[in-house]
Amino acid sequence: MSVILDIKDLEKTYYSGNHPLTVLQGINFSLQAGDTCAIVGPSGSGKTTLLGLCAGLDRASSGSVILNGIKLDNLSEDERAQVRNQYVGFIFQNFQLIPTLTAIENVMVPLELRGERNVHNQAMELLARVGLAERFDHYPTQLSGGEQQRVSLARAFSNKPTILFADEPTGNLDEETGQKVEKLLFDLNREAGTTLVLVTHDLELAEKTDRIIRIKGGTVVSDQITSSVGNVQE
């Protein structure tokens, strides 16, 4: 199995005036292709910051992030954008669909951005897979929260990413809808063989992944293999 995400001695420090504030330090872990992993921790523990660094949305103060064999540390923002387009998929708590685009156009964006032509059918297949083929020409405001998150799932998988980052994917949904979206997320992930990293408060959701990394005060306090893959290992 190949390593998809390799994090070494990761540290992130913000400066407020001359006062440094270290929000993450000494983070080390790596994920293989097809792994699923949950990052859990209390509010302000640094989990979203960690997700942002792993996905190449931000740059670390020290340490390194290697994604799909590409070292992100020295890349410019535009180069990291290219990496995201080629290898990364995103699911957000508040869906983050582009409000001015229809459902299908939202799904097509990552493909079109690569310069691919005739992507309509691919996007329609994905929408059908999430059960929204009929609603393809609806704008986000015309869809419910659950529907929006399903469109978001279709978009996340549209560019066939090697790794998917999900930030509280069910955080804005009611329990029933949340469970449907969870199932869809894991099903799609399994089918595509994508590595999944999700940040959540929801321990039930976290336990559905292969591995749980707990962070507190900016450091990893535990890194365990979950029962979903057999024995729990610390």
Choice between 50 and 212, CB closer to other proteins: 50
In the bound complex, what is the minimum distance in angstroms from residue 81's beta carbon to other proteins? Answer: 5
Choice between 88 and 173, CB closer to other proteins: 88
In the bound complex, what is the minimum distance in angstroms from residue 56's beta carbon to other proteins? Answer: 9
**What are the Cα distances from residue 138, in Å, to 95, 100, 157?**
15, 10, 20
Best CA proximity match to 29, nearest among 187, 167, 214: 214
- 136 part of the interface to other proteins, by CB under 8 A: no
Strand partners, 64: 8
CA 144 – CA 67 distance, rounded (Å): 34
Residues 156-175 that bind other proteins (CB under 8 A): 159, 167
* Binding flags for other proteins, 41-60, as an x/- string (CB under 8 A): -------x--xx--x-xx--
CB 4 within 8 A of CB 162: yes
For 39-65, the DSSP string reads: EE--TTSSHHHHHHHHTTSS--SEEEE
Strand partners, 90: 165
Interface residue with other proteins, options 66, 133, 192, 225 (CB under 8 A): 66
- 82 part of the interface to other proteins, by CB under 8 A: yes
- By CB under 8 A, the count of residues binding other proteins is 45
CB 137 within 8 A of CB 103: yes
86: CB partners within 8 A, 6+ apart: 114, 159
Stretch that binds other proteins, among 36-44, 61-69, 128-136, 223-231 (CB under 8 A): 61-69
β-pairing, 62-67 with 70-71? antiparallel
* Binding flags for other proteins, 175-214, as an x/- string (CB under 8 A): ----------------------------------------
CA 171 – CA 149 distance, rounded (Å): 11
Interface residue with other proteins, options 98, 128, 229, 232 (CB under 8 A): 98
Stretch that binds other proteins, among 109-117, 177-185, 210-218, 222-230 (CB under 8 A): 109-117
- 2 part of the interface to other proteins, by CB under 8 A: yes
Best CA proximity match to 37, nearest among 185, 215, 179, 226: 226
Residues that bind other proteins (CB under 8 A): 2-3, 6, 30, 48, 51-52, 55, 57-58, 66, 68-71, 75, 77-79, 81-86, 88, 90, 92, 94, 96-101, 105, 109-110, 112-113, 115, 139, 155, 159, 167
